[in-house]
Structure 1
Amino acid sequence: MVKKDALLEYLRKYPGWHTSQELAVMLGVSNRTVKTYVQQLKQEGCEIVSGTKGYSLHNTDMLHDHEKNCVPRTSKERVNFIINFFVKNSSAVNLYDLSEKLFVSESAILQDFKKVQSKIKPFGLELQRNGDFWSLVGNESQKRHLLSSLIYSESAGSFNNQDIIQKNFPQIDVDKLKKIILEESSKENIYLNTFDVNNILLHFVIAIDRINQGHEINNGSVDFDFKNNKLGLQIVDRVADEFNIQFSVLDRYELALIIQGALNNKADFAENISSETRALVMDLIDYVWKNYEINLDIASFKKFFSMHLDRLITRSRQQKSNYNPIAKNIKFYSPTIYECAVIIAHRITTKAKIRIDDNEIAYIAMHVGNAIAEQISDRQKLAVAIMIPKYYNNAAVLSNKLQGLEASYINIKDIIYDPNQIKKLGNKIDLLISVDSDYVDSKISTVSISQFLLANDIQALNVAITTKQHQIKKDHFQEKLLRFFDSKNFVVSDDLKTIDQVFELVTNNFVQQGVVDESFINLLFQRESMSSTAFGRVAIPHSLNMSAKKSSGFIIINSHGIKWSGGNEVFLIIALAIDPNNKQLFREVFDELSNVVTDINNVTKLINCKNYSEFIVKLVDLL
């Protein structure tokens, strides 16, 4: 995406005021460049308001109206338009005709062609020139994969992209197609999740649209198992009948294979899981526990993850991958869970000898997240004591009510009836709930409520719980930061411009300090090869295995940006080295750090820090 377009998209996605520095950090450009982009967008008709608070986009309805216009305006829109135009036109396209159609100069179209070339190259396609005429060269299967990728990118970040599919193919009844898929699956007692349904829908509408335009898949071969693809063929044949369309033999088999690959809850599917997959799942559970003390030995996880892993291995060995429209969101908003998924993915690649991309890692994260969310929640619960005057069973009644309302946030450790009993609680209580009393303890956070637990009582309790949780988190975070980071490992420099320079500096310093050995740099690159450690404009590099001699961290700031893996540019690097005895420390520090730095406003404040002390104070304050 062109950075000017990215600026417009950001202002549109996040209504309100944004400072020029925040926008500069988000885009990876200077404040002056942000002002230039704003002026250009204003000249193009975008109502961006400037003020003392920064910039804000007004009248976003105009943008939605623009989207309905068939003529693209931005470079990104033109590139996608050109790709679709070439795919739909079998004959060569004249450069000057396309220039007139899009109301831009020939030189602008030629620049767009360069971007088109880079987008279509991964699909085995290319633009070829013959004088003023250009053609898209490649087979039908490659063109369909390209189309699906464009639509997937349009739906990125969305759970349900059915509306986007319908918008792109208005002539096809997507609801009717979905009904056929779900009805046929239901007959076989098979459950398809949202991702599966949308994936199947997209492949069907592309196939139907292309066949209606006279484009069939007639090249290549398919290794087809009729016995295990019965449902897939049933759905394909019913679609062919109700949509009055003739699928070629290869089209029919390809669609049936896509359907079969999405099945994840057939009654006998678990019984057909390979012995390789079963053994690998148990190995992963053991590996994650030994190395990270995360318990995945849960029946539901083993059942559903085994089915997912079996299909993942099959897909990978067939050099296929499932697109995950919320992969970036999972990585950005649930970094700890995503990191656990990366560790699992690396173990799978080592054991099964396959490659796993970010889309597949995100699916693993969804399984892991469901399994460990409750464990994470339990660690964050407050230990609570209730002090209540003894009268019949009023203590038990209130305790049951509290457990029902606040079970996700508190563990009731004790019930006492007199302030003199507080001493016996020791230091094991985070919050004292004082019932029908004005008593406030000087050493324990206290909240006063009535035994009837009215609306104002619940409100007061929620405020007290939130305040105490935040205070505990900040206190623990500061303590861990001071244990983890040292002033000598804090660098502000514009000279460090690449990931290689950063890893070399960090490794050399850690080696001199006796933190790691020389192989640490290879471990950093190994982790980076699985999935970029960048979160927005911040990177938190570390090794996959906790093999450091002692735990330490290294902070680097470059306000002009550092080129990172995955095409990212970051301004802040927080490198971590962890020894085997600090597994819990890593999870806690990584979790809190990522929670802070995923907010671009926090990053803006942190990269303005001039020294170690200022940085640590600011980091804790931002939690």
Structure 2
Amino acid sequence: MNDRKNKIIEILRRERRYVTASELATRLSVSPKTIYRDINDISKRISSEFRIRKKESYGYCLVDVREGNWDKSDQFEHLEERRLNLLLFLLSITPCKTSIQKISERYFVSQSSILNDFKHIESKIKAFGIHLTKENDGTCLKGNQLAVYRVMSVIIESYLKQSGDSFSQYDIPDFIKGIKVVNGNLSKIKKLLHEIQIDYDLVLDQPYYLTLFCSLLSIMEKRTNNLHPLMGDEQIYEEMDNKSAIYQITMDLTDKLEKTYSITLRKSEIYHLYYILKAYKLNCRYLIDQNTDKVDKKVKLLAQQLISTATQNSGYQFVEDEDLKQRLTLHLYSMVYRLNHNVYIINPLLKSISVNFSSIFDLVKLSAQKLVKDKIYDKQLTDEEIGYITLYFQISYDERFANKIPILIECTSGIGTSHLLSGKIKKSFPNILVKKIVSQQRINQSDYEDIELVISTVKPKGMIDKPTILVSPILNDDDKYKIDQFIKDYYKKQLILPHS
């Protein structure tokens, strides 16, 4: 075959997608008719180990019959598929750099096409806090590790959904949702994780499954492309316990990955896999001792202070919920380990939690930030972690405070009298929630927000439009009757409003 026909074969071999006759003609500076003749001639002469597949309206692709390397599941049929694959590659090698030339060779398209791909990718990743940098020594994506894993996870989730996997709870963005995820490495890593779970009778829950998936893909791409992370990534936080089950799982997973890709993992990469699996063990209800007496005292104190701060910030008496204290302590036990070892788990339900439980989510986030500000805890909690903690507080809220009527108690300056009144109200009216107790001298307009009733021992100043009941500090029978009537009217309106 002549040189042009060999170039056609090379283009189809490297492109790994359907290429139209017009595109081939443009690249080779000939007419489409010439391409048609060449393809026909190539089809007659080509080895039995290969064949050219034609697809109407898509063009031609080269199929490796012998090894099946170029089956339909590994071909880019659309430009968007290549761009999504490129985005996943760039995410996987972050923070390492690569050159436009190498990317051009990887996808066998012109450098100008790659630059156009970059513009498309840049417009899609801004919302995730990631940006593309093109410098003299190479091109890379920049953003914190969690932001990178978030985007990687939604691409992986989309792939899992397309391949028939049952769990796909992540909110997949529109620019990913409608595009086929073409990447043969995803099926290989999925197979590795499946084998590990079968061999060791594990059921990795979704956050750890996705985090481990992202880590394995990142390690593989860096090693196979001979890319070296920054020296800061070499940090070792604790030695592995070579007698533990987690160690055996880690080494087996490492061995499988190295054999699959003919690579050698670095020490820091093996340790990182170990940390992820150990964090999973600490988080797993079936593996952790439910007795909080064995939990580190600092973690217990952190749980108590978070609950106390949330109580102060909201008026909801979370401090009275012993179940919340125990559940949150166990959760923070594994969370502290994760944050101390730079293990950032993905929260597939983050958007749903932040939207559906927005008040509690904001409360937890504000309370966590205050702990850092007051130097009670030295690490900022990620939104992923805030989302998980929110669920514990939301359960407590739903069980103890939901459908209760939030009130404010207003008094003169006698704080003892107001707390005595608060105790009597709580005892007499379990469906009332005392959110705030404020002296009239210090009350602000903002104190009246998020409450339905003011109970006051002193005549209000007239700065509010909330219902107000004037009572005696000892809460006599007439006072109780007025409060009881308000409660009945309040719930009656709640039943009528949805139908009005």
TM-score by length of 2: 0.50
